[in-house]
Amino acid sequence: MKLKRRKGGSMNYLIVGAGLFGATMAHKLAKAGHQITIIEKRDHLAGNIYTKEVAGIQVHQYGAHIFHTSNEEVWQFMNQFAEFNHFINSPFAFSRGKLYSLPFNMSTFYQLWKLTKPKEVQAKIDEQRQVLHGKKPENLEEQAIDLVGTDIYETLIKEYTEKQWGRKCSELPPFIIKRLPVRLTFNNNYFNDKYQGIPIGGYTKMVEKMLDLPNITVHLKTDFFAKKEDYLNNYDKIIFTGMIDQFFDYKYGPLEYRSLRFEHEVLDEANYQGNAVINYIDAKYPFTRIIEHKHFEFGQQEKTVITKEYPANWQKGDEPYYPVQTPENAALYQKYCQLAKDYPNVIFGGRLGMYQYFDMHKVIEAALNVAKQELAQ
């Protein structure tokens, strides 16, 4: 691939994948005057944040997506394309026949221990974390016990996490659980960020607006790998948001991912569970959570749509959702990064291209940073 500037410095970019990373890059590069072609193997835009209207309700087709950020630049950027409502994420967990408030807050501790004072809760957690004898947590199980003690770990974390990741908590890295907020207040807002909400009218409409520029062309149902060499030869630069290991034909073997399966159901009732998200902790439930989509937009429709989310082992050909970031996979990813150096005109981005467990705002932040570097050249 030769790097060739066109008249007026304009370049031809191919973006592989119409998810949030690809759409952000497309918008920024197109605004700077470049010609953008997007190819997407699915039959729709927006990647995993795709929403579809069913029974008058915006249904999150690939699981719950709640936008949150404290990054002013990211928030201002997204507000060009959508108005966000004031939805606050306050999920519940159903464990052993009882409902518990999430994230872990004074309500949760009251529900479990009947304690009402923060200092009593802190003393209880301190007492329970003694089982670690002060050692630095080396896996998720130890990290969880260090954060919230053994009772919360056994009741609300262990079975859910093992179901979600398909391996024992003692085999998972500790950083996964660090995303989990623990509060000695009655604040049950899952996120600490300054901004939070759901785009009114859904995420798909938002992404459509991002790509609504005359120098952006989109081709759906188009597989990069069907004509990989042609694409590499015919574009000045490629932004690839698929799996980095697949790009290199799994030369060193596949990286590890988790997959998901979604079961959507339209119910002839107005309100199924009274909350947008309820996690099902016990191993006896094969799904990890039930989402009731209308509550994301405070819907008053006569019917409701629920989604059961089932975790699944990933095999080649399955849809990858989460990178499994063990030390072994991190080392394998670095080997693929070395191969990527031989392709200076290919930029790898997004969850799969960067092999990172990104939330939406982090994907946008990463894309904005890459776009800045690209436009500074």
Residues known to be catalytic: 179, 183, 258, 289, 309, 357, 359
Rounded Cα distance between 306 and 291, Å, is: 5
Give me 95's structure tokens: 């464990």
Distances (CA, A) of 55 to 100, 268, 270, 301: 30, 10, 11, 8
Measured from the Cβ of residue 262, the count of other Cβ atoms closer than 10 Å reads: 15
Q: Which residue blocks in 114-227 are alpha helix, DSSP H?
A: 118-128, 140-152, 158-165, 203-210
Rounded Cα gap, residues 125 and 147, in angstroms: 8
For residue 168, give the nearest of 136, 131, 142 by alpha carbon: 142
Contact 240, 224 (CB under 8 A): yes
| Cα–Cα distance, 4 to 358 (Å, whole number) | 32
Sequence letter at residue 102: L
User: What would you report as the CA-atom Rg of the chain, rounded to the nearest whole angstrom?
Assistant: 22
Taking the chain, what is the end-to-end CA distance rounded to the nearest angstrom? 17
* Distance separating alpha carbons of residues 260 and 320, to the nearest angstrom: 8
* Range 195-225 burial, b when 16+ CB lie within 10 A, else e: bbbbbebbbbbbbbbbbeeebbebeeebebe
